[in-house]
Amino acid sequence: MKFSSLNLYISFFFLIFFLNSKNVYSASFTFPSTLTTNTSDFVLLSETGTTPSVNGFSTDVLITIVATAGYVKITTVTGLEQINGYCGYTADNSSSEPDNCTDDNRSEIGFEGTQAEVNTALATLSFKGDGSTSNVSITASATPTGAAYNSSNGHYYRAISSTDIDWDDARAAAKSEAQKFNGLTGYLVTITSEQENDFIADKISVSAWTGGSDSETERVWKWMDGPEAGQTYTCQKFGVGGTGGTISGSVCTEQSYLNWNFGEPNEYVEGENYMHVYGSGVRKGEWNDYVIDNTNVDAYIIEYGGMGGTATVSGEATITITSTEASDSTFDVFDDKQLVGIVEGQSESSKRFIYNSTNSVLERMEWYRTTKKNDSIKFKDLGLSIDITNKDTYPYAKLLDLYLLKGDVKKEQKLSEENIEKFINDLPLSKYLKNEFGLIPRKWKIWSSGYITNGKIKLKTGKQNQDFDTDALTIGIDKIIKKNTLFGIAIRMEDQHTNIGQLGTGIKSISNSLTVYSSWHKNRLTFIDSLVGYGYINNNLKRIEQADTSNVLTGSRDIKQYFTSVKFNKIINKDNFTSLFFARGDFGLSKLDSFAESGNIQALKFEEQNLKNKSISFGTLVKFKKKINKGHFLPYGRIEFFENLSPNSKVKASYISDPNTTYTYTVKENYSNSIKFEIGFDLNLIDSWYVSSSIRKLIKNNKDFENEFAIKLGKPF
Q: Distance from CA of residue 93 to its chain's centroid? A: 20
Handedness of CA 254, 255, 256, 262 (dihedral sign): negative
Residues 675-696 have a mean pLDDT of: 78
589 pLDDT band, cuts 50/70/90, is very high
Question: Mean pLDDT highest for which of 395-399, 507-511, 644-648?
Answer: 507-511
User: Is 472 a residue whose pLDDT tops 60?
Assistant: yes
Cβ burial, residue 244 (10 Å; 0-12/13-18/19+): middle
Angle between helices 396-404 and 429-437 (to 10 degrees): 130
Report the mean per-residue pLDDT for the chain. Answer: 77
Taking the CA atoms of residue 341, residue 343, residue 348 and residue 353 in that order, the dihedral angle to the nearest 10 degrees is 130
User: Is 120 a residue whose pLDDT tops 70?
Assistant: yes
Query: Can you tell me the distance from the alpha carbon of 678 to that of 635, in angstroms, rounded to the nearest whole number?
Result: 11
Edge-to-edge, what's the strand order for the sheet holding 61-67? 81-82, 108-113, 61-67, 135-144, 9-18, 312-313
Residue with more model confidence, 15 or 440: 440
Q: Do you find a cis peptide bond into 265, omega within 30 degrees of 0?
A: yes
Residue 167 near residue 39, CB atoms below 8 Å: no
Residues 166-221 pLDDT 10s: 999 999 999 999 888 877 889 999 999 988 998 898 888 899 999 999 999 888 89
Amino acid occupying residue 492: R
Residues 365-418 pLDDT 10s: 887 776 654 333 333 333 334 444 444 444 555 555 555 555 544 554 555 555
User: Is 608 a residue whose pLDDT tops 60?
Assistant: yes
Query: Can you tell me the distance from the alpha carbon of 350 to that of 588, in angstroms, rounded to the nearest whole number?
Result: 10
User: Is 561 a residue whose pLDDT tops 90?
Assistant: yes
Query: Can you tell me the distance from the alpha carbon of 656 to that of 674, in angstroms, rounded to the nearest whole number?
Result: 39
Handedness of CA 669, 675, 680, 685 (dihedral sign): positive
User: Is 12 a residue whose pLDDT tops 70?
Assistant: no
Residues 217-250 pLDDT 10s: 888 899 999 999 999 998 887 666 655 555 555 6
| Model pLDDT, residue 33 | 67
Residue 275: phi, psi to the nearest 5?
Answer: -95, 140
Query: Can you tell me the distance from the alpha carbon of 678 to that of 698, in angstroms, rounded to the nearest whole number?
Result: 9
Which of the 8 DSSP states describes residue 288?
A: E
Residue 155 near residue 303, CB atoms below 8 Å: yes
Query: Can you tell me the distance from the alpha carbon of 173 to that of 211, in angstroms, rounded to the nearest whole number?
Result: 12
Residue with more model confidence, 361 or 45: 361
| Model pLDDT, residue 426 | 56
Q: Distance from CA of residue 274 to its chain's centroid? A: 26
User: Is 256 a residue whose pLDDT tops 80?
Assistant: yes
User: Is 523 a residue whose pLDDT tops 70?
Assistant: yes
Residue 405 near residue 674, CB atoms below 8 Å: no
Query: Can you tell me the distance from the alpha carbon of 191 to that of 467, in angstroms, rounded to the nearest whole number?
Result: 23
Query: Can you tell me the distance from the alpha carbon of 252 to that of 220, in angstroms, rounded to the nearest whole number?
Result: 7
Residue with more model confidence, 279 or 425: 279
Amino acid occupying residue 76: T
DSSP string, 205-232: SS-EEEEEE-SSSTTEEEE-SSTTTT-E
Residue 307 near residue 290, CB atoms below 8 Å: no
Q: Which of 548, 587, 591 is nearest to 566 (CA)?
A: 587
